Copies of this chain bind each other. A is one copy, B any other.
Amino acid sequence: MVGTIDFYFDFSSPYGYFASTRIEELAARYGREVQWHPMLLGIIFKSSGSMPLTMMPLKGDYAYHDFERTARFHDIAYRRPPIFPVATQATARAMMWIQANHGEAKAIEFAKAAYRAYFYEGILIGDGDNVAKIASDLGLDAEALMDGINSAEIKEKLKTDTEKGMARGVFGSPFIIVDGESFWGFDRLYQVEALLKNGKI
């Protein structure tokens, strides 16, 4: 039996974005499925006392430079967003609503479009109207999506799912759990690949 790859990420995480451009093809190479888990790092940071890299003393300039250099190195379309970070409740809830109502494939299509909108096109995905526009460009019903985003059910699900992730040890983005092993960071994908390839690491 081959296990699902659990892919946890926050829509405001550049390394999460980088991983999102690779995870599906990586999984496909080894016959695996990916379960995408949008989450709110903000909730986790409240418990861990952490914060975005760019806000950490001494690390800010380095972090922005590393985002750009790492994207260039891996040939990922990236431009520094006009505002960073942004609140990602609307985007995460939208993805969850699409997962529930239109299936995982459509939700992944949305996630990739939203990530690219923010980290390449400079569209502020903290804004619900921008999120609705991204969804409607994919043929989704923007009004129904907005109702979904604002429903108590989806709001609760995002909170609960984030807490479930934390309970499994998730503390950053991207965070990958597969075959009982946990990996934090875009720069651990080579180890994820080794595990998928060799069955152990």
A residues near B (Cβ < 8 Å) are 44, 47-50, 56-59, 61-62, 65-66, 69-70, 72-73, 166, 169, 171, 181-182, 184-185, 187-188, 191, 194, 201
Contacts and interface: CB of A to CB of B under 8 A. Distances in A.
Given A185-B187, A187-B185, A58 B69 contact: no
Contacts of A69: 181, 191, 201
Contact of A73 (B50, B65, B185, B194): B194
B44 A58 contact: yes
Nearest to A172: B59
Contacts of A70: 191
Q: Across the A-B interface, give the 3 residue pairs with the lowest CB-CB distance, nearest first.
A: A58-B171, A187-B187, A48-B58
Contacts of A56: 48-50
A171 B59 CA distance: 7
Nearest to A186: B187
List the number of copies, as a whole number: 2
A174 to B, nearest CB: 14
Given A69-B191, A187-B185, A171 B48 contact: no
Nearest to A73: B191
A61 B171 CA distance: 11
A56 B47 CA distance: 10
Contacts of A47: 57-58
A11 to B, nearest CB: 21
Contacts of A48: 56-59
B66 A169 contact: no
Contacts of A187: 185, 187-188
Nearest to A170: B58
Nearest to A63: B184
A169 B169 CA distance: 31
A3 B154 CA distance: 55
Most chain B CB within a 10 A radius of its CB, from A61, A66, A70: A66
